[in-house]
Every structure is written in C-alpha cells, then in structure tokens.
A and B are shown apart, each in its own frame.
Chain A
Amino acid sequence: MNEVKYLIIGGGVAGTTAAETLRSTDPEGGIAIVSDEPYRFYSRIMLSKPNFFLEKIPFDQIWLKPDSWYAANRIQLLKGRKAVQLETTPKIVTLDDDSPWHYQKLLLATGARARKWDVPGAEKRGVYALRTLDDAKEIIAQVKQTKEAILIGSGFVSFEMADMLRLAGIDVTLVILESYYWEPVLDETSGRMIEKVLQDHGVKINHRAEVAEVLGGEAVTGVRLKDGRQLPCQLIIAGIGAACTTDLAQAGGIKTNRGILANEYLETSAPDVWTAGDCAEFRDLLLGEQIVLGNWVNSQSQGKVAALNMAGRHDPFKLVSFYTTSGFGMTIAFVGDSRAGEGREVILRGSPQENAYGRLIFQGGKLLGATLINLTREMGLIAKLIELGRDLSPHKPALANLRTDLATLISANG
C-alpha cells in the first residue's frame, strides 16, 4: 500500500496550484498528483490560441513548470495513470495499474472533458475536439494538410479556431444549431456583432444547421447536413462544450449533480475529500447557489483555497471570476454570473454602432455579472462593483452611457 498525506487527482491548474500551495503551507507532508495525461502541468488555456497553433511562439512555452519542479518540491507526479476506484472510509484510491493509495486528505481536481460529438462517421481521422495537448498536437498536424475546415458549435473554441484557421489561410465554415452565435449565453445583438467580424474575415456561417453524417473513408472528406447539402472538408473541430468529470466521485459515493457537489469551503459530501476546478459544483457565496464554472482563474483560485483548507484552514471560496476570448481584433468577456434569466434586468452599455457593447446583469439594484464585447478594459471595474455588492439602482440610467466612468461608482460613498 502506498501512503501519502495529500493525494490529488488531476494535474491541471487546480491540482497543480493545490500541490504548490500545500507544499508552501506544509513543508513535510507527502504530496502525490495523479494525472491521466502523459504530461506534466501545461497551459490548457493556451491550446486554442492562434499564436500557439501557428507556432508563432515556441511550443515549449506550453509547459508551466519545469520537470525538475516536482522533485525539487517533493511532489510525486504519477503521469498517464487514471484513478479508477475510491473508497472514502478506508480512504483508498486505486489506480488503473491496480496500485492502491492510502490518503489522509484527498482533492478531486478531475476537470472536464469535451462533450462527445455524436454523429455517424465522427470517428474518422480529421474530426477532433479540443481539450488536451494531444488533441492540439493532432489538430496542428492536420491543419497543414487542410484546405477547408468545418467548425461545429458557437462558443469560444469555434471563435478562436476560426481566427487561427483563417490566419493559416484555410477556408472556414461554421455549422451551428443556434439562430445566432453563442445563443443563448449572449443576446442576439452581441451574437450578430461576432458574426459580422467572422463574416468580414471570410468565415461562412450556417445557422440552425446540423451535420447528419461525416463523409469519407478512413479520413474525413466532407459532411452532409440534415437539409441535404454537402460541404467538403479535411478537418472538423467540434467545440460543443465540456462536461464535468465525475466518475471517480460517483464511484466513491460522493454526491454529484452536474459536477462534484461542494460547499463554500470546497468540501464534498465525504469527509476529508475536497474538490476544485472545472469538475466542482460549488456553493457560490456571492450568488447563494450551487454553480459550475469552467475557467482558468476559477480553477486556479479554487486549487489554492482547497489546499489551504486541506492543510487545516477553514476559508470560504469567494471570487468574481471572469473569462475572456479574442479573435479578429474583437474581445469578448464574461464576468461573474452573466445569465440573464427570470427576475433579472439587463442594462445595455454602449452599442454595436460604437463597436463596444456590454450587458450588465442586475437583480434589483445589485450587479451580478456582465457580458462585454470590446469592453475588456472595464472588466476589472465591473468585477469590483459586483464584489462590493452596492445598490446601484440610482446609476442604472447612467450606466447605459459609455462615457460614464465606472471608476467613479467605485470611489463613490455608499
């Protein structure tokens, strides 16, 4: 039986940040990370960036820790190993090589996996998701032999891949189920602004469209849409979202929903088991509800808080998280809780004519989140306003005007 004080499942940003934090808090306790990928910690967020894909920055920039970092910090990295069993009462995790690991404290930082694109022929060579370094390597190789590419889905993966593929001189067609880009996460005005830059750069968009079948022999040569049209392509990237990896938690009888359920301390339903990152469905103190957030800063911050709590602290996790993407000279940002649902009011800031357009999401007088097109410079200020939680009711009319400086609302009393 292998014995370790802190066992971390997942070698991404949540798991690695946790290991680093644990080592700085507890210089002696044994730490092991289990990663089902054959690599040390790398920058998953960089995988979809055009500069990386087109090899404008050195490939090695992807590695965020040198190999020697693990040994120097006495962190054992078990690469290419999958944790398959979890028993939370004798506190044992079993790996896919049948080796049992007895832990004192366990962190589940198992991340998310790309949602499977379930279409006949989707197993052909040339059809990819983009989640891991191996996915990226295959796409980089395939791009070199591609004249025409098809992107499935209207989210950040398709947006960044469209930018990269156009820069590489490839003909790009989007096939999306929605009636406008990023529906319903964004409103139609935002979606059309994005579509305009895509189309201005030569990307063709098929709305309310679905692939019926991937054509070709061993390798993809095209697709047939449900309306009968056929489109040639040598590359398909399906960016249709990600799902939390919860198998191990479920195997251990830990409560899950969309993700692994946790309270604001990132404690799961089992004693001495924490969770962090893309797989966590945690209690968000700012919103007062359970949420899943798949982004880099959230995973990084949760890895740190979970580790501090594993080492004996009892700190709640509290963060206004944000996420940005950019391409074709346009920036898109999401701040806090940007869902515009029932009981919420949306204040529009700027306009497509001003080429800067934001949606500020309110519940009563309280700002909860925002979606921002070409307004990333206001992201930090908006995050601060959300965090302060002030009643902004009197300022709502002024907020619609881009000339209203948000900084004045932060310095204002009350």
Chain B
Amino acid sequence: MIKKVVVDRNLCIGAASCVVAAPGVFELNGESKAVIKQKGGVKNSGPVEKEGLEDGAVTDETLLAAAQSCPTRAIFLYDEQGQQIYP
C-alpha cells in the first residue's frame, strides 16, 4: 500500500512521462519540474500523503506506473511503515 509520494527536484528533468501515466496526480510547473497536485489547489514536490492528493481515487497501480515510467527515477514511493517501495 502506497502511503506517501515525493518528487526529487534535483533528479527531475521534466520528461513528463508521469504526466502521461497519472495526469490526475502530476503536472509540470514553470521550471519544468514535476509537481504533485494536492487537495486545496496546493502543488509542490511533496512529500504528500496519499489522502492529500487532489485525485483521491488514484490507484497504487497508477502511482507505481508513473514512478516506474520516470527516466530519471525521480519519483519516490513509501508505504505505511515509511519503507521505500520505489525505486
């Protein structure tokens, strides 16, 4: 179970494969870095808990696919115990 999502801004190159895989969760900001869309209109690189995502219905499968699609492995996923699931 995915609990938390973080984007490493130093690694992100704005390839936007995460935007294709999970358009409800990720978009690029003005610096071409991926940001996470959160409830209340907040957009940043996180960390964000899954309940805080604007798209509350997103599945773990979609989040994992987005992280796996990243060509710089800049998206980090953690479970409820704080263990890193990906990469």
Q: List chain A positions with a Cβ less than 8 A from chain B.
A: 13, 43-46, 49, 51, 56-57, 61, 64, 296-297, 300-301, 319, 322, 324, 326, 331, 333, 374-377, 379-380, 383-384
Q: Nearest A residue to B18 by beta-carbon distance?
A: A297
| B72 in the interface (beta carbon within 8 A) | yes
For residues 26 through 42 of chain B, which have their beta carbon under 8 Å from a beta carbon of chain A?
27-32
Q: List 7 A-B contacts (CB under 8 A).
A: A43-B72, A49-B13, A49-B72, A64-B71, A326-B31, A326-B32, A376-B31
CA distance in complex: A205, B86 (Å): 43
Q: Flag if A296 contacts B17 (CB, 8 Å).
A: yes
CB of B58 within 8 A of chain A? no
Most chain A CB inside 10 Å of its own CB: which residue of B14, B28, B32? B32
CB contact list, B2-60 vs A, under 8 A? 10-11, 13-17, 19-20, 23, 27-32
Indicate if the CB atoms of B71 and A376 lie closer than 8 Å: no
Kindly list chain A residues whose C-beta atoms are within 8 Å of the C-beta of B10: 51, 56-57
B28 touches A64 (CB 8 A): no
Q: How far is the CB of A235 from chain B (nearest CB, A)?
A: 23
Q: Is B71's CB under 8 angstroms from A296's CB?
A: yes
User: Majority SS of interface residues in chain A?
Assistant: helix
* Cβ contact within 8 Å between B27 and A377: yes
For A301, list chain B residues within 8 Å (CB): 20
A64 to B74, CA, bound (A): 11
Q: Are B16 and A297 touching (Cβ within 8 A)?
A: yes
Return B79 CB to nearest CB of chain A, in Å. Answer: 20
Chain A residues within an 8 Å CB radius of B72: 43, 45-46, 49, 57, 61
Using CB atoms, name the residue of chain B closest to A46.
B72
Task: Report B70 CB to chain A, min CB distance, Å.
Answer: 9
| B31, closest chain A residue (CB) | A331
Specify which chain B residues have a CB less than 8 angstroms from the CB of A45 in the assembled complex.
13, 15, 71-72
How many angstroms between the C-alpha atoms of A125 and B17 in the bound complex?
36
**Nearest-CB distance from B22 to chain A (Å)?**
11
Distance between A303 CB and nearest chain B CB, rounded to angstroms: 11
CB-defined contacts of B29 to chain A, threshold 8 Å:
376-377
A296 touches B23 (CB 8 A): no
Quick one: which of A57, A64, A376 contacts B14, CB cutoff 8 A? Answer: A376
Are A297 and B20 in touch, CB under 8 angstroms?
A: yes
Residues on A with C-beta less than 8 A from B27 are 377, 379-380
Complex CA gap A288/B19 in Å reads 24
Taking a contact as CB atoms closer than 8 A, the residue among A297, A319, A377 that contacts B30 in the complex is A377
Most buried by A among B11, B20, B23: B20
Chain A residues with Cβ below 8 Å from B73 are: 61, 64
Q: Which A residues lie within 8 Å of B20 (CB)? A: 297, 300-301, 319
Q: Using known A-B contacts A297-B20, A376-B14, A384-B23, determine if residue A331 contacts B71 with beta carbons closer than 8 Å.
A: no
B56 to chain A, nearest CB (A): 18
Closest Cβ neighbor of B30 among chain A residues: A377
| Contact residues in B for A324 (Cβ distance below 8 Å) | 14-16, 28, 32
* Residues of chain B within 8 A of A331, CB atoms compared: 14, 30-32
Which 9 pairs between the two chains have the least Cβ-Cβ distance?
Answer: A331-B32, A376-B32, A324-B14, A43-B71, A380-B27, A376-B28, A45-B71, A377-B30, A326-B32
Q: Which residues of A contact B23 (CB under 8 A)?
A: 380, 384
Shortest B43–chain A CB gap in Å is 9
CA distance A113 to B27 in the complex (A): 30
Per the bound structure, the CA–CA distance linking A45 and B73 in Å amounts to: 12
- Chain A residues whose CB sits within 8 angstroms of the CB of B14 once the complex forms: 324, 326, 331, 376
- Kindly report which residue of chain B lies nearest to residue A66, judged by CB atoms: B87
Which residue of the partner chain A has the closest CB to B20? A297
Q: For residue A322, which residues in chain B have a CB less than 8 angstroms away from its CB?
A: 16, 19
What is the CB-to-nearest-CB distance from B20 to chain A, in angstroms, rounded to a whole number?
Answer: 5
Instruction: Give bound CA distance, A380 to B19, whole Å.
Output: 7
Q: Which residues of A contact B11 (CB under 8 A)?
A: 51, 57, 61
Task: Give the shortest distance, in Å, between A32 (CB) and chain B (any CB).
Answer: 22
CB distance from B86 to the nearest CB of A (A): 12
Known A45-B71, A46-B72, A380-B23: A374·B30 in contact at CB below 8 Å: yes
Question: Given A44-B71, A296-B15, 7 more contacts at CB 8 Å?
Answer: A45-B13, A45-B15, A51-B10, A64-B73, A322-B16, A331-B32, A384-B23
A333 to B28, CA, bound (A): 11
Q: Closest CB-CB distance, B4 to chain A, in whole Å?
A: 21
What is the CB-to-nearest-CB distance from A53 to chain B, in angstroms, rounded to a whole number?
12
Q: Using Cβ atoms and an 8 Å threshold, which residues of chain B touch A319?
A: 20
Beta-carbon contact of A333 and B69 below 8 Å = no
